[in-house]
Amino acid sequence: MTTLERLMAILVTHYKLDPTRIARDTPLEHLGIDSLGMVELLFFIEDEFNLQLPSDAPLLPTVADAVRYIDALQAQQPAPSPAGTAAAPPPSRST
Amino acid sequence: MRRVAVTGIGVVSPLGNDAAALFANASAGRSAVRRMDAPWCRRLTCPLGASADFRAGEHFEPAKLRMLDRVSQFALVAARQAIGDARIGSGDLDPQRTGVFIGTSMGGSVSTDEGYRTLYEEQSDRIKPFTILTGMMHAPAAWISIEYAVTGPNLTYSTACSSSTVAIGEAWLRLRSGDLDVAIAGGAEAPLSFGAMKAWEALHTLASEDPADASASCKPFAANRSGMVLGEGAAIVLLEDWERARARGATIYGELTGYGVSADIGHITRPSVDGQAAAMRAALHSAGCAPEAIGAINAHGTGTPINDAVETAAIKRVFGARAHRIPISATKAIHGHLLGASGALELVLCLLSMRHGVLLPTMHLQQPAADCDLDYVANRARHDVFVDSMMSSSFAFGGTHAVLVARAAPTAPAAAFAAAPGALPPPIEEQQFE
């Protein structure tokens, strides 16, 4: 599955959204995910992609922005090795 | 000073999730106390509790539900009931002249407990993102204000077992003074989690299980009483300026006439006769009535050895020789101790008792204790007894004792049930009173 498909699955499963309403350029706010909802979405993303997100909140206006953010994190945080060392997270923005 | 009417009631409780079910079960003396069977209950010494039959998914969408601890779920559902019961529409509330006053002793303890379990038991470094929002003490009040777009005072009171009595009393003060026209007031509690129950167990205040009947384990004022049983739920009343309520033709359950609160400074848990009596006297004073005006009492009556003896002595101190002639109900025997929500639930029971002319029984009282020698309406309700005013007492760890006085509505339906003595009243929604 692509990152977009996995993100869509999160949105459909946890937010009971109609997948036909979701496109790459859909603003997350239009899906009912406000700043507080974003906090929860990041939690689900951490779970789904086995990522460790920085503690401050990223700016992710659209679905495509979220996909890019996840992909960037995945590139910097490959699956945990036995040594368990992780790369530094990408820059993020506080609200 | 303005008069304050109760025009709406909402309930989620071990005895039912509306006023009619609550009152029918309380009148019949049906106990909701059970031996609980969750896996973690095996680690409790005595896994007794009075849980509400509550399905959150019937009331909230999943995304909303993730933001609500069980205590907020209870509070919101009870508030919706109370406002619906009062037949107040969305345009009927002046947002700035309406307040929300909620009491809770433990707040979102289920969420907090779950967060700690995740951290310490699962050794996870991550907990749910809304743990702060669900666990914070004033989440129930906040959600009610948000749902009804109420912008007046939004206040939470946490004074242990008197929390909701204090919340209702403080709301009453603001309506009485004219600062507000309407208040959504009451309490909510959801203490049936492993961590909360273990903490209560450690205090050695919980009842041991009755070997013959677990549901009879809480025995207020009895010689063989051994402690209290925790319960969960919420009770919310809609308080309204009397003239406003009359003008809009509201059904009035009763009038809130007095509120007294005292600090029992002798000990952090052990109540004193002086402290409890002071709260009762303060309530009588604010109601402007003599002790003779009180026709019945809903006692704090936890079933702990200390409270029940001290409360009996305090009632004697306040009411003198007449104490022996005042019917006293301790309904925690069957709905459990809802901690911060208890006072609100018991005020509701007082209002319904006066309305329906039914004095509620104190169940599981086969042999009163030697130091509990008043009339506790033992084991059987008394029907067709209409009293004018009742007192509802809540005494708390920490010493914040609070007492409310309520008066029957002028049009209390004395004749409504006289035709069928002994019968349970019909559900509230089927009754026509005013």
- The rounded distance, in Å, linking the Cα atoms of B298 and B284 is 15
Residue A89 lies inside a defined structural domain of this protein = no
Question: Which strands form B182-189's sheet, in the order they lie side by side?
Answer: B154-157, B98-103, B182-189, B233-241, B4-12, B254-263, B400-408, B389-394, B296-298, B328-329
Contact check, Cβ <8 Å, B128/A32: no
Residue A63 sits in a domain whose CATH number is 1.10.1200.10
The number of distinct structural domains making up chain B is 1
Contact check, Cβ <8 Å, B63/A15: yes
The tens digit of pLDDT for each residue in B390-418 reads 999 999 999 999 999 999 998 655 444 43
Residue B421 has pLDDT above 50, yes or no: no
The 10 Å Cβ neighbour count of residue B297 is: 29
Segment B16-22 mean pLDDT: 97
- The rounded distance, in Å, linking the Cα atoms of B267 and B398 is 8
ipTM of the modeled complex = 0.72
Domain extent, residue B61, equals: 4-428
Residue B412 sits in a domain whose CATH number is 3.40.47.10
The number of distinct structural domains making up chain A is 1
User: To probe the interface with B, which of A17, A18, A40 has the most B CB atoms within 10 Å?
Assistant: A40
**Which residues does chain A have within 8 Å of residue B133's beta carbon, measured at their own beta carbons?**
36
Give the CA count within 13 Å in the CB-facing half-sphere of B234: 34
Residue A83 lies inside a defined structural domain of this protein = no
Residue A91 lies inside a defined structural domain of this protein = no
Q: Are B71 and B154 in contact (CB under 8 A)?
A: no
Residue B379 lies inside a defined structural domain of this protein = yes
Segment B254-265 mean pLDDT: 97
Res. A78 pLDDT band, cuts 50 70 90: confident
Segment B94-117 mean pLDDT: 97
The residue count of chain A comes to 95
Domain extent, residue A67, equals: 3-76
Contact check, Cβ <8 Å, B128/A43: yes
Segment B121-142 mean pLDDT: 95
Angstroms from B148 CA to nearest CA on chain A: 20
Residue B419 has pLDDT above 60, yes or no: no
Angstroms from B132 CA to nearest CA on chain A: 12
Residue A88 has pLDDT above 70, yes or no: no
**Which residues does chain A have within 8 Å of residue B62's beta carbon, measured at their own beta carbons?**
14, 16
Residue B267 lies inside a defined structural domain of this protein = yes
Residue A82 lies inside a defined structural domain of this protein = no
The tens digit of pLDDT for each residue in B354-370 reads 999 999 999 999 999 99
Beta carbons within 8 Å of B121's beta carbon, 6+ residues apart: none
- The rounded distance, in Å, linking the Cα atoms of B363 and B61 is 39
**Which residues does chain B have within 8 Å of residue A15's beta carbon, measured at their own beta carbons?**
63
User: What's the pLDDT at A56?
Assistant: 78
User: What's the pLDDT at A58?
Assistant: 85
Lowest mean pLDDT among A35-39, B163-167, B301-305: A35-39
Mean pLDDT over each residue of chain B, to the nearest integer: 93
Residue B414 lies inside a defined structural domain of this protein = yes
Place of tokens 């977009």: A4
Select the more confidently predicted residue: A45 or A77: A45
Catalytic site residues of B? 161, 300, 337
Which DSSP helix (H) or strand (E) runs through B333?
helix B332-335
Res. B89 pLDDT band, cuts 50 70 90: confident
Contact check, Cβ <8 Å, B129/A43: yes
Exposure string over A38-49, b if 16+ CB within 10 A, otherwise e:
bebbbbbbeebb
- The rounded distance, in Å, linking the Cα atoms of B78 and B75 is 5
**Which residues does chain A have within 8 Å of residue B139's beta carbon, measured at their own beta carbons?**
none
Residue B383 has pLDDT above 70, yes or no: yes
User: What's the pLDDT at B425?
Assistant: 38
Residue B434 lies inside a defined structural domain of this protein = no
User: What's the pLDDT at B427?
Assistant: 36
